[in-house]
Chains A and B, each alone.
Chain A
Amino acid sequence: MNLYMMSFALFLVGLYGVLVKRNIVKVIIGTGIMGYAVNLFLILIAYKEGATFPILLPGKEQTIMVDPLPQALVLTSIVIELGVTAVLVALAINIHRKYGTFDLKSIRRLKE
């Protein structure tokens, strides 16, 4: 239970970074941390105390195995996060080109 709580705490750390930080790069890192927290949570769902890897091998006796499905989900979600982060970084580069700053407080041309 403690581990679940800690992955949730990590999620909140990421959320804090996204909501509070003023630097665009730190905001992007915040979204990354949120993603890691969820990946950790998915892996924790699959984890069982004293279980082995979920592959049947000749000669290997059948014991308790961890659930392989969340591991596959985590691989997919890592790839998706890569895509999203790439888009975010590309946008950040272009914003820096246009505004000359990474400070979110001074990037406010929409409201005018």
Chain B
Amino acid sequence: MIASYFVIIPLVTAFLIVLFGRKAEKIAGYLSLFATIILMWLSALLFPIINIQGAIVYQLSDWKIPYTISLVIDHLSAFMMIIISLIALLSIIYSINYVKKFTSNWGYYSLFMLLLAGLNGVTITGDLFNLFVFMEIALIATYALVAFQGKAEHYEASFKYAIMGSISSTLILFGIGCVYSMTSSLTMMQISARSGSTAGLYLVSALFLTGFGLKSAMFPLHSWLPDAHPSAPSPVSAMLSGVLIKVLGAYAIIRVFYMVLEPSKMVNEVLLLFGTLSMFVGAIMAIAQKDIKRMLGFSSVSQMGYILLGIGLATPLGFFGAIYHILNHAVLKSLLFLDAGAIEEMEGTRNLEKMQGNTEPITKSTTYMGALGISGVPPFGGFFSKLIIIVAAISSGRYIYAIIGLIVGVMTLGYYLGMLKKAFKEKKEPKKIGISLKISLVILACLTLVTALLFVPGLREGFLNKVVDCITDREAYAALFKVGAGL
């Protein structure tokens, strides 16, 4: 039963906000804060529940699985759910003071809640077509949010993103049709059990790789990201770069290619090659950027490359690195985007060349932590996840990819140091920002250090290792079908 609340709560909140928020502007913010706190609490409960009674399977309308839509939460879903809820909660806290400058707050919050409903749905669904539906819910909300600030270039970025997004969604639907005609099932666990017949499906692999690859900003399909993510309001940018590309991209790739379909060598090679390319191209493009948020967007492309590289290695260590980097990058990139929003608020510009040095100390120190963390400086979590991905590449004999990973790490450090130097010039009179901005910045900055603790052996077994076991254990996932169907 707990599974359905993850979709119900944000959906209901979105409609309540539209009903009541129009009259009283403040209600909208507090309603969504309340909803995200409940979601955070629920998703914190998931790991203990799964440890006790195994994966949660909920079947809609009390029918049995092949005939109904199922919601399945295993360790991987629970892990993604914790990230989504965490970043959403902090973005909403940040929004409370940040969105005061907009005219229709209720629209902002209600679209945010719809985005959250879509993301939660993608993460917990056990039905391939339902994944597509929730993905579209999240994307439609995203298109509107990217254009929310209402300037000419925001509409342009949103249109570009919407066209690319709808092409990729159509490709995914095409792939789902092919899978259905091969296995005559849409329940992901059943497809996984029958997946012997999907081994040589090059067409399906190509369609899904293009579709999900576009959503995760893989190299030749990355061009929408540096336009769309910076155009959104900063808390939404944090949500998009921190969570959306990972849920619709990385999580969907892990789920579909490694747990539902038969894992194939060709997909691994494609992910390795294009992951490395997007890592490298993103870093090269980020060096020359003057707009701070656009630079962070290219950095997202580059970091997604690391995640795809880790996934493509397809060893347990590679998966460990990939999911650990998903967590670290979610925290770090949301912190940096929120910082960029605060800097923009104080400086009045996003152009690094024109910045005066009006930034107040909390934003400054948290930006330093975020930038050092994402470029892989030791005490932060980002260092360990990159290290694991590179070690995994070496241990499976992919020396070239490991070397490129190291080089890109150095380049990342380079362009982030350049950003820090330009953004915080000589001291002037620091301006003030709202208290809610500071709260979420400080919490996220602490989390960049806390995620490093998850690598410590005692804590690793309880959290990240279970997620990796969940990914590599295909039989357990296929067996969930029998549990659910009551056989």
Contact = CB atoms under 8 A, between A and B. Distances in A.
Interface string B112-133: 0000000000000000010011
A28 to B, nearest CB: 8
Question: Which of B139, B158, B159, B170 gathers most chain A CB within 10 Å?
Answer: B170
B156 A38 contact: no
Interface string A84-96: 1001100110110
Contact of B147 (A18, A70, A91): A91
Given A11-B174, A98-B152, A98-B155, A87 B162 contact: yes
B197 interface: no
Nearest to B181: A45
A74 to B, nearest CB: 10
A34 B170 contact: yes
B156 A77 contact: no
B461 interface: no
Given A31-B167, A94-B147, A45 B140 contact: no
B177 A41 contact: yes
A90 to B, nearest CB: 8
Contacts of B144: 87
A33 to B, nearest CB: 10
A38 B170 contact: yes
Contacts of B150: 94
Contacts of A18: 163, 167
A107 B163 contact: no
Determine the main DSSP class of B at the interface with A: helix
Given A31-B170, A94-B147, A98-B152, A45 B163 contact: no
A84 B136 contact: yes
A76 B176 CA distance: 14
B35 interface: no
B173 A95 contact: no
Given A76-B129, A88-B163, A83 B170 contact: no
B136 A109 contact: no
Interface in B82-126: none
Contacts of B151: 98
Question: Which of A15, A24, A35, A94 gathers most chain B CB within 10 Å?
Answer: A94
Nearest to B230: A110
B157 interface: yes
A71 to B, nearest CB: 12
A11 B203 CA distance: 15
Contacts of A83: 136, 140
B293 to A, nearest CB: 12
Contacts of A99: 152, 156
B137 to A, nearest CB: 9
Given A27-B163, A31-B163, A91 B177 contact: no
A69 to B, nearest CB: 7
Given A94-B155, A107-B156, A70 B167 contact: no
A95 B155 contact: yes
Determine the main DSSP class of A at the interface with B: helix
A15 B157 CA distance: 20
Contacts of B181: 45
B67 to A, nearest CB: 10
B154 to A, nearest CB: 9
B227 interface: yes
A24 B156 CA distance: 11
A31 B129 CA distance: 20
A49 B133 CA distance: 30
B166 interface: yes
Nearest to A42: B177
A87 B143 CA distance: 8
A109 B152 contact: yes
A3 to B, nearest CB: 13
Contacts of A107: 156
Interface string A12-48: 0001001000001001000100110010011001000
B153 A110 contact: yes
A38 B181 CA distance: 13
Contacts of B277: none
A97 to B, nearest CB: 9
Contacts of A110: 153, 156-157, 227
A73 interface: yes
A34 B156 CA distance: 22
28 contacts: A18-B163, A27-B163, A31-B163, A34-B170, A38-B173, A42-B173, A45-B181, A70-B177, A73-B129, A76-B129, A76-B133, A80-B133, A80-B136, A83-B136, A83-B140, A84-B169, A91-B143, A91-B155, A91-B159, A91-B162, A94-B150, A95-B156, A98-B152, A98-B155, A99-B156, A109-B152, A109-B156, A110-B153
Q: Which 9 A-B pairs have the closest CB atoms?
A: A98-B152, A45-B181, A91-B159, A34-B170, A94-B155, A80-B136, A109-B153, A31-B166, A95-B155
Given A88-B162, A88-B166, A109-B156, 9 more contacts: A11-B170, A31-B166, A70-B180, A76-B133, A88-B159, A94-B147, A98-B155, A99-B152, A110-B156
